[in-house]
Amino acid sequence: MTEGEISQKDSLVNQATEAPVVEKMMEALTLYGIKIIAAVVIIVVGLWISKIIKNCFFNTLQKKKVDPTLVGFLASMLHGGLVIFVVISAISKLGVQTTSFVAVIGAAGLAVGLALQGSLSNFAAGILLILFKPFKVGNFVKAGGEAGVIVEVGIFTTEMKTPDNVQIIIPNATIMGSAITNVSAHPTRRIDMTLGVSYDDDLNKAKQIMEDLLAADERVLKDPVATIAVANLGDSSVEFVIRPWVNSADYWAVKFDFTKAVKEKFDAEGISIPYPQSDVHVFQEKSS
């Protein structure tokens, strides 16, 4: 066999050996190329859809007039969750097992949840306060064992200012876990007062004086009509209840002014407001 024939034979052998390798490489490139393209498509389309969902969610909350701080926070949380889902889906398309990733994320979420249990409860309560709005900034509220004007409703805490200008910061979970009394919820309020007069005084005259004082005060509403009635026969006095209706902003001013005015008028008209007193009867035994 000549050298040319040997060389030709070796060439044929090499071509026969390389052919399966090339075919396998082409198959691998084709397979992984499709997976890579699919993963890229998933990421591009997924990020586009997640952005649309975020914008729709953001606009919906804005139309419902939800607090802007909460709107931005919730929209960012939603977008972040969607991005994580898209990335995991793309990695899974490449043939990578994502079960471990999901397990790690779940374990991390559980650990963070346990570590921040109190903060998360305050966060959830803050969302409920902002969404359902049992009160708003400027309202006078009794909640969480405290009373004051609402200064700010935050994600985790609510800030109040007491009538004597003291700042109070209450965890939102404490507020949601207790009764909430919103004094400023309605434009009008009823003042409940009790006043006692002597048993010896003219009850009709005392009632007329109180009616005249309320009628002369322009801050007292004509509708509903104020109630003035004998409510109780006490140990030392006949007790009247006085219940006028006023605008919420005039509540304390009317109450203070009426209390002063009725005392001065009673003094001028000779009607007494008796002190608590008891009758003591002394019996003297005759000595034998």
Enter the pTM of the model.
Answer: 0.59
Question: pLDDT at residue 56 above 70?
Answer: yes
Please state the rounded mean pLDDT for residues 79-106: 71
Which one is predicted more confidently, 13 or 205? Answer: 205
Question: pLDDT at residue 153 above 50?
Answer: yes
Which residue in this structure is represented by tokens 């006078």? 140
Structure tokens at 253: 């001013």
Which of the four pLDDT bands, split at 50, 70 and 90, describes residue 13? very low
Distance CA 104, CA 232 (A): 71
Which of the four pLDDT bands, split at 50, 70 and 90, describes residue 24? low
Structure tokens at 23: 């075919």
Q: What is the pLDDT of residues 200-255, one digit of tens each?
A: 999 999 999 999 999 999 999 998 999 999 999 988 899 999 999 999 989 999 99
Distance CA 7, CA 211 (A): 129
Q: Which of 18-27, 92-101, 202-211, 254-263 has the lowest mean pLDDT?
A: 18-27
Determine the pLDDT at residue 215.
Answer: 93
Determine the pLDDT at residue 22.
Answer: 54
Could you tell me the domains of the chain?
15-115 (1.10.287.1260), 134-182 (2.30.30.60), 188-269 (3.30.70.100)
Determine the pLDDT at residue 214.
Answer: 94
Determine the pLDDT at residue 219.
Answer: 94
Determine the pLDDT at residue 28.
Answer: 54
Question: pLDDT at residue 8 above 70?
Answer: no
Please state the rounded mean pLDDT for residues 18-22: 54
Determine the pLDDT at residue 76.
Answer: 72
The neighbour count for residue 277, using CB atoms within 10 Å, is: 9
Q: What is the pLDDT of residues 59-85, one digit of tens each?
A: 887 776 666 656 666 777 777 778 877
Q: What is the pLDDT of residues 154-193, one digit of tens each?
A: 778 889 999 899 999 999 889 988 899 998 889 999 999 9
Please state the rounded mean pLDDT for residues 86-103: 69
